[in-house]
Amino acid sequence: MGDNYTDSYDDVSMFVLSGDREQTLLDKQTECTFMWTTKADEPVGVIMNFVYADGAFWVTCTRRRKRVAAVEARPRVAIAVSSRGTDIGISQAVTYKGSAEVLEDDDTKAWFYPALAQKVRPGDTSAQEAFASHLSTPGRVVIRIAPDKRIGFDSEAMFKDSPAGPSTTQV
């Protein structure tokens, strides 16, 4: 290995996930890490199921979750999506920063619940209907995250010509 950044991997910013590979990741992955800040300006995040549609991320929880009040008070949030657990390859990841909005209208819930159910219960219509019904409870909200910044990484691109070789297993 030499002194240049490509050999030492000190600068991995050139190994950006491509448009098609990014879209595949968003289509295949069902979970993201949703991050926000608390009243004390502490960062926090949870794993949530998501749908990516119309250029935005959509997640759901009940209004009583602290993240809802936090997002309403401080709408700048982040979402991280990785390929972990999918069949599309290892160490693909994208983090998005954006603004969140809490929605409670019936029209949003009417399209979102079935879309989320279809994503997390693919190929099983009765399981999708049961999942969507499970979501349809009083006090549930949908959070829409409109991304405006992104950071993507593709380890397959990084290790493609590396003496270390490509990653073959998930670690």
Residue 42 sits in a domain of what CATH number?
2.30.110.10
Q: Does residue 25 surpass a pLDDT of 60?
A: yes
Q: What is the pLDDT of residues 100-136, one digit of tens each?
A: 999 999 999 999 999 999 999 999 999 999 999 999 9
With respect to residue 41, please indicate whether it lies within any of the assigned structural domains.
Answer: yes
Q: Count the alpha carbons within 13 Å of 97 in the hemisphere toward its beta carbon.
A: 6
Whole-number average pLDDT of the chain: 84
Rounded mean pLDDT of 24-49? 95
d(CA 80, CA 19): 16
User: Where is pLDDT greater, at 100 or 15?
Assistant: 100
The pLDDT value given to residue 16: 54
Residue 71: inside a domain: yes
Number of domains the chain is built from: 1
Whether 93 is in a domain gets the answer yes
Scanning the structure block, which residue is given the tokens 């992955």?
29
What is the structure's pLDDT at 23?
Answer: 87
52 in any annotated domain: yes
* Residue 151 domain flag: yes
pLDDT over threshold 90, residue 19: no
Residue 170 counted as domain residue: no
Q: What is the domain extent for residue 81?
A: 11-106+139-156
> Is 129 among the domain residues?
no
Q: How far apart are CA 114 and CA 133, in angstroms?
A: 9
Asked if the model's pLDDT at residue 54 lies above 50, the reply is yes
How high is the pLDDT of residue 17? 63
